Amino acid sequence: LAKTTQPISMDSYEGQEVNITCSHNNIATNDYITWYQQFPSQGPRFIIQGYKTKVTNEVASLFIPADRKSSTLSLPRVSLSDTAVYYCLVGGGSSNTGKLIFGQGTTLQVKP
């Protein structure tokens, strides 16, 4: 199972763009990269998923380089409500279906 490494914490200010990078050196060919957001005492919420290059949705962008050994979640113009823990998750294929391992996550603190 691919192991992920993320910064433990990050600080930002309202209105700034925030980039959180996740390292996954032993990602497998059929693994996807997924990011989740979690607020205290709530379940994680799916943000975005990608396999390669760039994916964008209404809340974030995900950049994946050609070697796929890392990925970067980009949050444009963050607000105070984006203060949360962000998890990078790597998984895929049928060998470990359903057994998805979350890393430590990155605690993002957005300041006014």
| Residues near another protein (CB under 8 A) | 32-34, 36, 41-46, 49, 87, 89-94, 96-105
Q: To the nearest whole angstrom, how small is the minimum distance from the Cβ of residue 95 to another protein?
A: 9
Residue closer to another protein (CB basis): 42 or 81 = 42
Q: To the nearest whole angstrom, how small is the minimum distance from the Cβ of residue 13 to another protein?
A: 27
In angstroms, the CA 73 to CA 56 distance is: 10
Question: String of b and e for 20-43 (b: at least 16 CB within 10 Å)?
Answer: bbbebeebeeebebbbbbbeeeee
Residue closer to another protein (CB basis): 10 or 28 = 28
Q: To the nearest whole angstrom, how small is the minimum distance from the Cβ of residue 14 to another protein?
A: 27
Task: Using the structure block, give the residue that is written with the tokens 């005492």.
Answer: 41
Alpha carbon 10 to its chain's center: 13
Residue closer to another protein (CB basis): 16 or 85 = 85
In angstroms, the CA 68 to CA 89 distance is: 13
Q: To the nearest whole angstrom, how small is the minimum distance from the Cβ of residue 17 to another protein?
A: 25
